[in-house]
Chain A
Amino acid sequence: MTSKTVQQRGTVTIRFAGDSGDGMQLTGNRFTSVSAVLGNDVATLPDFPAEIRAPAGSLPGVSGFQLHFADHDILTPGDAPDVLVAMNPAALKTNVEDLDPGATIIVNSDAFSPGNLRKARYDTNPLEDATLDAFNVISVPLSTLTVGALDDTDLGKKEKERAKNMFALGLMSWMFSRPTEPTIEWVRTKFASQPELAEANITAFTAGFAFGETTELFAHSYEVKPAELPPGRYRQITGNAAIAYGLVAAAECTGLPLFLGGYPITPASDVLHELARLKHFGVRTFQAEDEIAGVGAALGAAFAGNLAATVTSGPGVALKAETIGLAVSVELPLLILNIQRGGPSTGLPTKTEQSDLLQAMYGRNGEAPVPIVAASTPGDCFDAAIEAARIAVTYRTPVFVLSDGYLANGAEPWRIPAVDDLPDLRSAVRFATEPNHDGEFWPFQRDPETLARPWATPGTAGLEHRIGGLEKADGTGNISYDPDNHHRMTELRAAKIARIAETIPPLAVDHVEGARLLVLGWGSTYGPIRAAVRRARADGGLVATAHLRHLNPFPSNLGDVLRSYDRVLVPEMNAGQLRRLLRADFLVDVHGYHRVSGLPFTTAELVDAISHELKGLS
């Protein structure tokens, strides 16, 4: 066996693409895990169709998983893949446009049958004409090789062929010098109850690795050294797992039992799934009959003294709006997690967008302010959930947490927080136990500092009281139709939410001397914006940047920050929702960059947007 040379690379982006049934998500996730454990910084972008199994070989059925790994800290899943693994013609067709010339394409040549070519709308075989001349195409008969490697097993041909994703994973593991042991170990655990399948997958995987080593098709392999990340213990985490863990952590921080009422909806269901597994943390999950009942049960649970949450996506929030308004009116803590997706209506269920900001802000009848917290990275979903819980229990208010499909399914290395470093929120809970007004209990007598009302839970003797959605008299909470009282209560509810700003940190700006342009973002655009600003600065651009965690209320210094720059650019995956809020609140002529394609921004397009604004300033 000849030993091949190893070339060093600083950063690599790979995209695995195949049929929905080809196991591309699993393959991508495995490669990510191994890369993360190896110490690379990683960022991922799963991209799959809404259909569970579109017709095999068809264009709509293509499922992809993009992975960016590097020897330095990275912020995005990469713009153009360096390597595309295409399991069939449809996967090639739908992904080749994203490649830059010179990129490597590894195809499963077995899948380029006349039938599959037709389904992918190729008139001729692109492996045999000039279509792919700009690329480094490596044709590997993945199916044949996999079946051959499994000759000695008793599996049927179909089952053997199904292991081809593991062969591909093995090949890529060789190509990028990934260790094999963690994957072998993982397969053994996953198929513990089916040892035959486990061995077959391992055989296919090691055969793929060995193929890379021996075949003449590859001249050399690559290595991406570990990144220098801040010291600590790390794991890989997706946004949906992080937000679920954040809720569990918030329950521990507040000393309250966690209740989640939900209804299955993409891309939020994994939060329900994750929490349903965590019953040994005292977590109660309730899959309701509909979205309305999911939030209704959560609000009931809040009244009963739980840390209560509901998880959904935009269409679900629309259904929950009336109950969220009730939570505003009765002033009970409630967390509404919106894992945003493309809209309007059913929209793009599996794609990302951040177009529910104004829905969170205004999507209720009456004057019904609700605080909004947004997560910026998959791992940040953890902190966002805890911060939302802090606001909810301290101020007795529903709080929105905005995540999105990109954060939900994307993964990154996450420095595991120390439990002792989490905030102690028990003092914020302070259940009422005693009458508070001349021997009586007034459920709407407010804390002078926070304007929060007392939280008296059923079971507390002497504090029996009634709450409801009708307007309440300031203090007693009795039904009141008094005109002045309604005006006062409206102002009090607004003032309570505004006061939250006193407890949130001022917006931190990453400023460079001489910068006149501020790029301001919120939510999952954090990575692309930071990456673009970094690149713009490397090209000599004087650009400042900042990212909002709190969308309502805003940090108290936001107006000053905006006014201290000659130009403000807000890139958003919507038609300009934060931009509109900023213009309305601060009368600043904020510029926007907007694209809603269901995919996160590329660094390159934001670099262009930044340079356009810089040109406008000069």
Chain B
Amino acid sequence: MTDTAAPPLRKKDFSSDQEVRWCPGCGDYAILANVQGIMPSLGIARENLVFVSGIGCAARFPYYMETYGFHSIHGRAPAIATGISATRPDLKVFVVTGDGDALSIGGNHLIHAMRRNANLTILLFNNQIYGLTKGQYSPTSELGKITKSTPMGSLDYPFNPVSVALGAEATFVARSIDNEREHLTDMLTRAAAHEGTAFIEIYQNCNIFNDGAFDAVRKNRPQQIRLEHGQPIRFGADHEFGVALKRTGQLEIVDVASVGEDGLLVHDAHRADPGLAFMLSRLSHTPEGPTPIGLFRQIERPVYGTGLNRQVDAAIARRGRGELADLLAGSDSWVVAG
């Protein structure tokens, strides 16, 4: 037999032998298929891919990927993943999390991973509910949500995950939807190619406890706004609406017919300042009103792990590789004769 190059990997090569155990109809299936689908195109060997998760329905994800995987504890995946990626720049590390895992119990780790710009691709499956614990309201549930733990309605104001990520100055912030195959593929591919923390909020339907939470903003629905870098921001059934920047510094929804296309805000995903992207994330606080999906922001900033390893290299270059005997001897030693 002659040597032949290994055949290119296909989607099924990234599918583990474990039975997938999400509820039938769960939005997670579409996301899993999409993620497995982009893997061959990344050009990264399976052994160099690591999926880290916390706790929750989404957190089962690593078991279904034929890569390295770590299903950890509630909220802590970004911290554990930071330890992996910072010490092993040769690895591509994904974090798969949910709205409770990332924004409630793990909120601290999420924001710090993002400000640090650890080299992580963070996929936040947002279904606005606690699924695995059977239907309590989550930190992204709409105000007044009636659940088993809030029979008279929830009292706390929800997070908008994209706003949180932009507030923490993540260097890549995007939003997509579980069953928008092409859009999600595009966002995942771009996120995976990003150096630093790439954060994608994925609207994910929980058909058991919160069915239809994103129906208002799904494909071809008038409230969905597709952000395209360099394009004026338009939406509506016939693209009849647009987003304009008022002289007062606020964004407003306008009729394109009345202001003309030149009067619309042109989306710039690469602005250094996250302010405008933040304002876009605030057009509607919850996915009922006009809601942008797509890439909000992508900028370059030094990556934590790269800096960490550079300091080590620089210290060795400057001082030479440390000699343990010298370290132990110190600068102030004396001899006791026998």
Contact = CB atoms under 8 A, between A and B. Distances in A.
Interface of A: 33, 36-37, 39, 182, 226, 229-237, 245, 248-249, 252, 257, 259, 261, 278-284, 286, 288-290, 292-293, 296-306, 308, 322-323, 326, 330, 416-419, 458-470, 478-479
A293 B109 contact: yes
Interface stretch (B75-83, B236-244, B273-281): B75-83
A290 B328 contact: no
Contacts of A289: 79, 108-109, 112
A182 B332 CA distance: 10
Nearest to A440: B17
Interface string B62-74: 1101111111110
B309 to A, nearest CB: 8
B84 to A, nearest CB: 4
A229 B329 CA distance: 17
A579 B73 CA distance: 34
B322 interface: yes
B248 interface: no
Contacts of A281: 321-322, 324, 327
A283 B329 CA distance: 19
B86 A233 contact: no
Given A300-B83, A460-B47, A465-B69, A235 B330 contact: yes
Nearest to B69: A466
B143 interface: no
Nearest to B50: A458
Interface in B63-122: 63, 65-73, 76, 78-84, 86-88, 90-91, 108-109, 112
Contacts of A252: 324
User: Which of A231, A284, A293, A306: most chain B Cβ within 10 A?
Assistant: A293
Given A278-B322, A280-B318, A463-B47, A297 B333 contact: no
User: Which of A257, A322, A463, A468: most chain B Cβ within 10 A?
Assistant: A468
B257 interface: no
11 contacts: A235-B328, A245-B328, A280-B320, A292-B76, A293-B82, A304-B87, A305-B88, A323-B76, A458-B50, A458-B88, A469-B72
B335 A293 contact: no
B79 A464 contact: no
Interface in B279-338: 308-309, 311-312, 314-316, 318-322, 324-325, 327-330, 332-338
B312 A283 contact: yes
User: Which of B66, B69, B336: most chain A Cβ within 10 A?
Assistant: B336
Contact of A459 (B80, B88, B309): B88
Nearest to A288: B79
A259 B112 contact: no
A37 B79 CA distance: 45
Interface residues of B, number: 61
Given A248-B327, A419-B328, A478-B18, A462 B83 contact: no
Contact of B66 (A231, A283, A459, A464): A464
Contacts of B337: 231
Contacts of A245: 327-328
Nearest to A227: B336
B46 interface: yes
B83 A308 contact: yes
Contact of B73 (A279, A301, A418, A469): A469
A458 B83 contact: no
B335 A284 contact: no
A496 B333 CA distance: 42
Nearest to A290: B108
B80 A296 contact: yes
Given A282-B312, A293-B76, A464-B46, A416 B83 contact: no
B324 A249 contact: yes
Closest 6 A-B residue pairs measured CB to CB?
A300-B83, A468-B71, A296-B79, A231-B338, A297-B83, A466-B69
Nearest to B14: A464
B193 interface: no
B68 A464 contact: yes
Given A293-B112, A297-B80, A459-B88, A279 B334 contact: no
Contacts of A478: 18
A233 B308 contact: no
B3 to A, nearest CB: 17
Contacts of B52: 300
Given A39-B336, A466-B71, 20 more contacts: A33-B332, A182-B332, A231-B338, A232-B335, A233-B336, A235-B333, A248-B324, A280-B321, A281-B322, A288-B79, A292-B79, A296-B76, A299-B80, A300-B70, A300-B79, A464-B46, A465-B69, A466-B69, A467-B69, A469-B72
B231 interface: no
A306 B87 contact: yes
Contacts of A286: 82-83, 86, 308
Interface string B240-268: 00000000000000000000000000000
Contacts of B62: 466, 468
A416 to B, nearest CB: 5
A259 B83 contact: yes
Contacts of B41: none
Contacts of A459: 47-48, 88, 90-91
Contact of A37 (B67, B318, B322, B334): B334
A123 B69 CA distance: 70
B108 A461 contact: no
A303 B51 CA distance: 12
B87 A301 contact: yes
B17 to A, nearest CB: 9
Contact of B84 (A182, A304, A322, A323): A304
Contacts of A417: 328
B322 to A, nearest CB: 4
Contacts of B220: none
A461 B47 contact: yes
Contacts of A479: 18, 63
A331 B70 CA distance: 12
Contacts of B309: 284
B88 A304 contact: yes
Given A280-B315, A323-B76, A459-B47, A232 B329 contact: no
A432 to B, nearest CB: 12
B45 A467 contact: no
Contacts of A418: 325
Given A460-B47, A466-B63, A304 B91 contact: yes
A231 B324 CA distance: 21
Contacts of B149: none
B47 A303 contact: no
Contacts of B66: 464
Nearest to A456: B68
B150 interface: no
B194 to A, nearest CB: 20
A593 B325 CA distance: 41
